[in-house]
Structure 1
Amino acid sequence: MRRAAAAVAVFVGLTAVAACGPDDPAPAKAAPAASTTPAADSSASAGTSGPAPAPLPTKGGAPRPDGTITVALAGDVHFEGRTQSRLSVQPPEPALGPISRTLAEADLSVLNLETAITGRGAPEPKTYTFRTTPKALSVLKDSGVDVVSMANNHAVDFGADGLTDTLAAKDSSPIPVVGVGHNAKEAYAPYVTTVRGVKVAVVAASQVEDITNQKWRAGANKPGIASALDVPALVAAVQAAKQQAPVVIVYLHWGEEGKACPTGPQTAVAKKLAAAGASAVVGTHAHTMVGSGMLGSTYVGYGFGNFLWYGTSNYAFSNETGVTTLTLSADGKVTGEAFAPALIDDKGIPQPVTGAAADAALKRRDGLRGCAGLTPPPAAH
């Protein structure tokens, strides 16, 4: 695993890095990231010699005595460029590397797959376009992922044909896909499941103002993504989900690239979704981590950053990532939060960090809360 030259910086009034536009960063040399102490089993996932990883824990189980469940949340995933080979890893090695264990240990885990699932279609007129195969959904399942959001600015990178294939992949997926559908009703519909006796709903939408949200927003009789720009539709979706489940997780694609503080549209919609009954409102898009914490009784994570990342980035701290695990009560309240920090290595894989490096990463991450207007969440026990 590559070791960057700089030590983890303690957050001291982090200056936002200018974004280059409404799309993804050019694959240029990344800014120096934090030095790390890798987890003991990271060598196998990083492609070096070492013992094979142990199989991941099996999901499920009886209700806990206190009625709580855990939900793990992570950022953006691509299977392009340097991460395309992760589609071919053989069990028990997971495509997401050793941090898959953190996802698998949670009762439910959710992240964002930022790509079309197709081998057809013409690329949309945008700078960066991404595609993968349906196998991406299988390897994510094998990495401990339970639900995938595809409400983002790259889900329809290959036009109508690509969208047809993406929806076909969703229809036959081994794990639920939210935020995209054959029509608006399906795109905004929650995935509802029962986890350790507790009903959970997951809703997804994109707030990114780009060609995808303009051209490929789902309608009454039109396939596409769920849009968070249609605030009334998103609020109604969350309210409907709350009628079906006490725990409602809203996963958004939002924020401004390279900015470590939330935007006005982010904070505005977070307040509306909290009022609508969301237990947690979280998401990605900025290519860097953004503040997280409590907005009243609702957990808000404004940016989880990159996770399995196809290329390098111009943005500072773009290799910093991790998994956030929330503990929630049976009535949908967040009773604890834990963060497992990681650093994206030169193969694009999120490698866990430990010891002093992990402590420093956690301190910097918590410091990002300062400009987010959030209060500290309760610690997990």
Structure 2
Amino acid sequence: MRRTARASLAAVTAVAVAGCAAGSTGPAPAWHGVTAGPTASGTATPGPSAPVEVRLAFAGDVHFTGRTLGLLDDPQTAFGAIAPTLRDADVTLVNLETAVTGRGTPQPKKYHFRAPETAFAALRAAGVDAVSIANNHILDYGRQGLADTLDAAADARYPVFGAGRDADSAYAPWLTTVRGLRIAVLGMSQVHDLAGSWRATDDRSGVAMAFDTARATAAVRSARERADLVVVFMHWGVEGSSCPSGEMKTFAGRLSEAGADIVVGTHAHTLLADGWLGATYVHYGLGNFLWYANSHSTDSGVLHLVVRGRTVVESRFVPATVSGSGQPIPATGVGKQRILDKLAAAQRCTGLAAKRPG
């Protein structure tokens, strides 16, 4: 199914904030009760009376340093057994938690992540279509590191969003079209560390920050005018906490009011849960995904959504565990059920409805 989506994406308009143009084993999970588009076997696209459904996949924080740097020796297999799960969608997105640079000055913070340009080859090979770089590591090596990241993305013709050479490009959406559905994806950060010096301005490169509420919501409203489906990929949360903070809940409400259809988050190093904020689907946190070392939790997974127009009509979380190699491995049996039970418990503190109203 994933390979046929590539054909659908041939006509995609890929607008990246960087100014750029647009082999593992293991079974891919089956979709049930979903109307698919064209397939490799030649199945026809649904007729005019049939609803057009598009499949989206999201995963959490990814970087290539420490134990995961060596995975880039073979970019085609860097994501390992989870890759078929990523590919089983029309559009797949993750958070790239690293600068792609070999230069720059480490910033005054505890952790510094950077990766070589082959990171983009690994992401593409795993079926990841675009990445958010709106996070608290994209400027770990200063504005030189960010500039190198944007240049590397442009050279690889790989879409990135959520940071840019100025505020207009940082808050600009990545735009793509799948079977006639126009999709806009924005990235923003709500992490406080160094936010003042890292934020993008009219004359300075940086990250699209949620703290500039007026600009952030204006960006969503602008995307609403250009697209059928508006997605906001957030970097937010309290590290180690499976419950969203009041700050997260407030901003999710503002994104919903501005016209966001889907809000998905990362950063807390543990899984949070999902639900409905009016007509907006919100998943507060996807945890670590391809991860360099120990963390608060090894629980991970891939979020699959089926959308029809502006509406999420199906959501499914595929649990995984971050392994000793740093690669996420699909969970099975007792381990899988434990993660699903954990998410069900976490849903109670989201403040979100379990079902879409109406």
1:358 aligns with 2:354: no
Whether the aligned pair in 2 keeps the contact of 1:291 and 1:303 (CA below 8 Å) is yes
1:198 and 1:290 map into 2 onto residues whose CA distance is 29
Match of 2:86 among 100, 103, 110: 103
Whether the aligned pair in 2 keeps the contact of 1:328 and 1:335 (CA below 8 Å) is yes
Name the SS of the counterpart of 2:168 in structure 1. Answer: helix
Deviation at 1:138? 1.6
Whether the aligned pair in 2 keeps the contact of 1:129 and 1:157 (CA below 8 Å) is yes
1:299 and 1:90 map into 2 onto residues whose CA distance is 33
1:323 aligns with 2:305: no
1:193 and 1:136 map into 2 onto residues whose CA distance is 22
Match of 1:201 among 175, 178, 184: 184
Gaps (5+ residues) in structure 1? 1-43, 46-51
Match of 1:271 among 253, 264, 278: 253
Deviation at 1:251? 0.2
Higher relative contact order (CA 8 A, sep 6+): 1
Deviation at 1:54? 8.6
Whether the aligned pair in 2 keeps the contact of 1:292 and 1:302 (CA below 8 Å) is yes
Identity of aligned residues (%): 44
Whether the aligned pair in 2 keeps the contact of 1:151 and 1:253 (CA below 8 Å) is yes
Q: Deviations over 1:326-363 (max 9, x none)?
A: 11112x11111011000011111100012343233212
Match of 1:147 in 2: 130
How many residues of Structure 1 are paired with residues of Structure 2 in the alignment? 320
Match of 1:256 in 2: 238
Match of 1:337 in 2: 315
Deviation at 1:168? 1.0
Deviation at 1:141? 0.9
Deviation at 1:231? 1.1
Match of 2:52 among 30, 49, 67: 67
Deviation at 1:377? 4.5
Whether the aligned pair in 2 keeps the contact of 1:258 and 1:288 (CA below 8 Å) is yes
Whether the aligned pair in 1 keeps the contact of 2:291 and 2:322 (CA below 8 Å) is yes
Deviation at 1:53? 6.3
Match of 1:78 in 2: 63
In structure 2, do the counterparts of structure 1 residues 120 and 298 end up closer, same or farther at CA, with 3 Å as the change threshold?
A: same
Structure 1 runs (4+) deviating above 4 angstroms are 52-56, 59-64
Match of 1:372 among 347, 350, 357: 350
Paired AA for residue 164 in structure 1 = A
Gaps (5+ residues) in structure 2? 1-22, 30-35, 39-43
Paired AA for residue 180 in structure 2 = G
Name the SS of the counterpart of 2:284 in structure 1. Answer: strand
1:312 and 1:164 map into 2 onto residues whose CA distance is 29
Whether the aligned pair in 1 keeps the contact of 2:37 and 2:45 (CA below 8 Å) is no
Paired AA for residue 214 in structure 1 = G
Match of 1:293 in 2: 275
TM-score, with length taken from structure 1: 0.80
Task: Output the aligned Cα RMSD.
Answer: 2.0
2:94 and 2:181 map into 1 onto residues whose CA distance is 20
1:119 and 1:60 map into 2 onto residues whose CA distance is 42
2:254 and 2:217 map into 1 onto residues whose CA distance is 7
